[in-house]
Amino acid sequence: MKKTVRHLLLALLATFPTAQAAGPTAQALAFTCAGCHGTDGSSVGPSSPSIAGMDPDVFVDAMLDYKNERRSSTIMKRIALGYTDEQIREMGFFFYRQPLRVKPQQTDPEMVALGKSLHDSYCEKCHEEGGRPGDAGTLAGQWMPYLEHAMSDYLNDQRRWPRKMERKVKEVVKAEGERAIPALIQYYGSQN
């Protein structure tokens, strides 16, 4: 319920005149991102994540973390440094309004089934609806190679763990062993 209200508010905010006025600028700024993240944020993959439909708060946090080196990156630090915090916010709303278009990825049905059951027990609480775009980012339909990088960044302490996520990830690896993370990633990659 709380989340539904929040999403309604966000949708409303995105249509506000201030956001509209920012529209053309934000869109122009976002052209720079198209080469890697696809026009309108649906990436043709596989190592640049899709950012269409991304929660604006998660978007802003990600960009500021890249800027301030709180999150490791191959390329995004240099890019994020080129924008003011205000421009980053405007781009956040722009991408939030774009529909996420997912490309099919090849997955193994057995791993997908295992991943789904692990997700439901360990991850769904924060990554709702199988990991659809929300206030814990986007997992469903995200490129699998990107998710592999993201998971290894967390596990190697190259990226700050979201509060309470570390415990769940370590629990799932303990319970299911080495297959756990690949199975979860296959489950996310299987969704469209």
Write out the residues near ligand HEC by the rule CB under 6 A: 32-33, 35-37, 47-49, 51, 58-59, 61-63, 73-76, 79, 91, 122-123, 125-127, 136-139, 147, 150-151, 162, 164-165, 168-169, 172, 184
> Which amino acid appears at position 52 of this protein?
A
Q: How far is the CB of 105 from ligand HEC (least distance, A)?
A: 15
- Give the integer Cα–Cα distance in Å for 6 and 151: 27
Q: How far is the CB of 27 from ligand HEC (least distance, A)?
A: 12
Q: How far is the CB of 11 from ligand HEC (least distance, A)?
A: 19
Q: Which candidate, 93, 15, 33, 29, places its Cα nearest to that of 60? A: 93
Q: How far is the CB of 93 from ligand HEC (least distance, A)?
A: 12
Q: How far is the CB of 164 from ligand HEC (least distance, A)?
A: 4
Q: Which candidate, 112, 131, 141, 130, places its Cα nearest to that of 41? A: 141
Q: Give the nearer residue to ligand HEC in terms of CB position, either 164 or 174.
A: 164
CA-based torsion, 89, 95, 97, 100: positive or negative: negative
Left if phi > 0, otherwise alpha if psi is -120 to 50, otherwise beta: which for 137?
A: left
Q: Is 154 in contact with 161 (CB distance < 8 Å)?
A: yes
How buried is 25 (Cβ within 10 angstroms: 0-12 exposed, 13-18 middle, 19+ buried)? Answer: middle
N- to C-terminal Cα distance for the chain? Answer: 25
